[in-house]
Structure 1
Amino acid sequence: MPHTSLFLLSALAFLSLSVAAEESVNYEEHIKPIFREHCLKCHGDDEQKADLNLQSHASTLKGGSGGVAVVAGRSSQSLLFQSITDPDDDARMPPKKPAIPQAQTALIQKWIDTGLRETSASQSMVAERDLSFKPETNAGGKPAVPVMPGALPEVKLPTMKRPLPVLTLDASPWAPLAAVAGQDHVRLMNLDTQAEAGRLSFPEGEPHLLRFSRDGAVLMAAGGRPVELGKVVLFDVKTGKRLALVGDEVDAVLAADLSADQKSVALGGAGKLVKVYDTTSGKLRYKIEKHTDWIMAVAFSPDGKTLATADRAGGLHLWEAASGRALLSLNEHKASIRALDWRADSKLLASAGEDGLIVWWDVKDGWPAISKADAHPPARAPGTYGKIANGVLAARFDHEGRLCTAGRDRRVRLWDAGGKEIQSFAIADAQPLSAALSFDGKKLIGGDTAGNVHFWNLETKK
């Protein structure tokens, strides 16, 4: 056999072994050698600084005086991984030495995230979860006749030197209709014709958040004028009539949502408070004061039981929707959370942030069932140096459990119910800020910083 063929066979065999090893990273074969090289002098059988012994699998799981060192399935929340990847040279482990090579830290991360196996024969310590989704059982709120706009009152548009960026948009859950933010108004667009179907006046200023009700009959518009006022308005989609005016903020409302029964509105912004109002009386029902930074996203679960709230510091919390009682804190994001959305069955909550992370949360216990780091990685332009701005700016589920997102890579992406990317679409000359899927799941809609609305056909990929 020629030498070249022997070399290729050997290379393929080595590659196969490497892949197999990576898929079942375990303590004895892969992690202990790394600990022996970098850690056991201070954290072994002879000496245990901070009472942490990494000499065996059992002692590693036991942790030390600082608490549990490794959490199965969550490297981001594991003290050991945090300590060896700390960007501060004085705080990073091992002390006064170069950082552990990236390939080795990646292997430790893989070991933690895949379940802390002791040997190749060991079972993962990450519990299996039922994340199945059955679209046919989640058609709550579907009206007998989908609501489309009738003859709406004429809205005079303000004079603008340039279009307002499309800060937000939403698609009706049951009709070929989209709502798009504009200065002092909301555009309603027919998704079949891509033509304007009417306008709704929003003299309060800039709409920062648009959401259709679960039945598609009501549109919520939240926004205002920076350092001046903030309001939430509920519109009748068919007639354009104002049904309710909620809130009296001294700054623009940045985040808001309408409950599934349309009886409550939650809002938040630069004031760091979440306020929940009764839509009938307009009275404040309760406040949430836990957040330490601007409120960037709020979302009621479709079953009406839970309220999720997120802030600019990466804080994410779940509350009992009826009372505001604290339920869970979800710790994963390291930067501003820009979007929250619930899957139709209320089992999963998606969060997306400026750290480039998308998380599908199992809200039963607050576990990050699916995580996508660097979900929208921007390409490095020639001649640029340092850290490139990353981030996910929008996220919305559809009836099928798919998620669409918009990111700083100037792409709108579509993910299936299991978190696998299906398609992506580029916007060449502007940054996408908002995205949604049409009611029938056939079209993807995106809005950008230049004020443009983009329509993509998912079947033709155009």
Structure 2
Amino acid sequence: MRRSTLCLILAVAGRSAAAEPVVTYNDQIRPLFREHCLKCHGEDEQKADLNLSTFAGVMKGGSGGVAVVAGRASAGLLFEAITAEEDGERMPPKKPPLPKEQIELVRAWIQGGLRESSGSESMVAARDIGFKPAVQDLADGPPPMPRDLPKVTVPSSRRPLPVIALAASPRAPLLAVAGQEQVRLVDSASRDTVGILPFPEGQPNVIRFSRDGHVLMVAGGKPVQSGSVVLYDVTSGKRLAQIGDETDAVLAADLSPDQKLVALGGSGKTVKVFDTATGRQIYKLTKHTDWVTAVAFSPDGEKLATSDRAGGLHLWDARGGGILLTLAEHKASVRALSWRSDSRMLASGGEDGLIVWWDAKDGWPAVTMPNAHPPDRPPGQYGKLANGVLALTFGPKGELLSAGRDGRFTLWSDAGRKLSTHQSEGGLPLQVAVSLDGKTLVSGDEAGRLQFESAVP
């Protein structure tokens, strides 16, 4: 995405972009429509009852539905039509796709609030999405690091397994890396392995550190056999609790900030929330229509975000399980969720190539980054290329790190501006993490390797 377009989008989200031109229907969009669209959607002919020759006609939409939604390019039929991958679905018909610059111009116009003229007000209210560091009430004492963990015997493999799960401690220079029936603890400064936690339950699919860094949550299991969540003491390696007794591996899980709740989900299309002290199920969420792919408690403990393989994404009251918001933007599986530490923003990434920063207050998509990980097109290859977002996580300063099917992991600023991109050296980057101080980016790839890069370009 070009810088000018991005700045226009951020202005809608409460960022100043005074040096950037405002995109309006009269000045930029109608001439573009005249060049490409008015033969079929003008005054003389209006296929699907859609007239793009006037601002009022665009706002009215057509027989197919709403053409544009202010601030949400992906929610209207117009942008969907001009960006469709298949030739038979894309507009204008029987012609090459619109140039990227023109597509971004349309996106900027929609995201900027559908201004008719230079004197028009944006239809989207400005909002402040800036990062506000939260005051953390953490216990005093040294950072929780493994100390003299017991020697364990774990299954060996002929070659390293893909890094299915990865997490960075919020209190110590420590990484937790999934392996075969084990979790490897790595000193992120020296990059040495400092301990191994056995996970005989099966494959670890999810790893999370507690807010104070003293507890490690590991979730997973054996496909079509069993699944559960295990809590470990980071310093001693002691198993503190085992939660859940599923008939399939757990695919999504999280530990609440106060360590009193565990949420888990998987192929059963339900999310179950348990009391960690008693192991008793407190409530169950049944709104999802496909496998649950991610769950995440907000850092303030008030909300629970859940997503599924069909693109469903919901916000719930974390204590009682009541539905708060349904967040509709993704058109494919939502692979990852991450809360910013101030609990104001939730990031989601999906197989549709889209990254969204949601305002947790009202569910508004404050920043949308479509095609966030565009792959390089090999010469002579046509059709749609896989551009999914595989993982993402917020860092300690409000920055976001994401990984995608383009084979790269990318760092974004707290306002959604691309800061740096790194090519994965071992194949697809499956998981990402940001070090405690925010200075080091870590990716885990399909070859089982960890790659460390500086966060400073």
TM-score by structure 2 length?
0.88
* Cα distance in 2, alignment partners of residues 347 and 173 from structure 1: 18
Is 2:359 the partner of 1:343? no
Are the equivalent residues in 1 in contact too, given 2:399–2:413 (CA < 8 A)? yes
Is 2:292 the partner of 1:295? yes
Structure 1 counterpart SS, 2:377:
coil
Q: 1:421 to 1:84 in 2, by over 3 A?
A: closer
Further displaced range: 150-159 or 171-180:
150-159
In structure 2, the partner of 1:365 is 362
Is 2:371 the partner of 1:374? yes
In structure 1, the partner of 2:110 is 112
Q: 1:38 to 1:432 in 2, by over 3 A?
A: closer
* Cα distance in 2, alignment partners of residues 38 and 385 from structure 1: 23
Is 2:153 the partner of 1:184? no
Is 2:158 the partner of 1:149? no
**Residue identity opposite 2:361 in structure 1:** K
In structure 1, the partner of 2:236 is 239
**Residue identity opposite 1:80 in structure 2:** L
Following superposition, the deviation at residue 40 of structure 1 comes to 6.0
Is 2:202 the partner of 1:193? no
In structure 2, the partner of 1:441 is 438
Structure 2 counterpart SS, 1:368:
strand
**Residue identity opposite 1:70 in structure 2:** V
In structure 2, the partner of 1:60 is 58
Q: 2:250 aligns with which of 244, 250, 253?
A: 253
Following superposition, the deviation at residue 44 of structure 1 comes to 6.2
Q: 1:140 to 1:400 in 2, by over 3 A?
A: farther
Q: What is the aligned-residue identity percentage?
A: 59
In structure 2, the partner of 1:3 is none
Following superposition, the deviation at residue 312 of structure 1 comes to 1.2
Following superposition, the deviation at residue 139 of structure 1 comes to 2.7
Q: 1:100 to 1:119 in 2, by over 3 A?
A: farther
Following superposition, the deviation at residue 130 of structure 1 comes to 0.8
Structure 1 counterpart SS, 2:27:
helix
* Cα distance in 2, alignment partners of residues 52 and 383 from structure 1: 36
Following superposition, the deviation at residue 159 of structure 1 comes to 2.6
**Rg larger in structure:** 1
Following superposition, the deviation at residue 121 of structure 1 comes to 2.6
Are the equivalent residues in 2 in contact too, given 1:142–1:214 (CA < 8 A)? no
Following superposition, the deviation at residue 42 of structure 1 comes to 7.2
Q: 2:216 aligns with which of 219, 226, 238?
A: 219
Q: 1:71 aligns with which of 66, 69, 72?
A: 69
Once the two structures are superposed, what CA deviation does each residue of 1:152-210 show, in whole Å capped at 9, x if it has no partner?
Answer: 12110213111211111111101111111111111111122211111111001110110
In structure 2, the partner of 1:396 is 393
* Cα distance in 2, alignment partners of residues 239 and 253 from structure 1: 25
In structure 1, the partner of 2:406 is 409
Are the equivalent residues in 1 in contact too, given 2:426–2:449 (CA < 8 A)? no
Structure 2 counterpart SS, 1:30:
helix
Are the equivalent residues in 1 in contact too, given 2:85–2:384 (CA < 8 A)? no
Give unmatched runs, 5+ long, in structure 1. Answer: 1-19
**Residue identity opposite 1:56 in structure 2:** T
Following superposition, the deviation at residue 423 of structure 1 comes to 2.2
Following superposition, the deviation at residue 252 of structure 1 comes to 1.0
**Residue identity opposite 1:241 in structure 2:** K
Structure 2 counterpart SS, 1:361:
strand
Once the two structures are superposed, what CA deviation does each residue of 1:389-428 show, in whole Å capped at 9, x if it has no partner?
Answer: 2222111112211111122222222211111122222223
Q: 1:365 to 1:391 in 2, by over 3 A?
A: same
- CA RMSD, Structure 1 to Structure 2 (Å): 2.7
In structure 2, the partner of 1:6 is none
* Cα distance in 2, alignment partners of residues 32 and 138 from structure 1: 49
In structure 2, the partner of 1:80 is 78
* Cα distance in 2, alignment partners of residues 40 and 380 from structure 1: 31
Following superposition, the deviation at residue 109 of structure 1 comes to 3.0
Following superposition, the deviation at residue 381 of structure 1 comes to 3.4
**Residue identity opposite 2:159 in structure 1:** R
Structure 2 counterpart SS, 1:187:
strand
**Residue identity opposite 2:367 in structure 1:** I
**Residue identity opposite 2:236 in structure 1:** T
Further displaced range: 198-207 or 269-278:
269-278
Following superposition, the deviation at residue 37 of structure 1 comes to 6.2
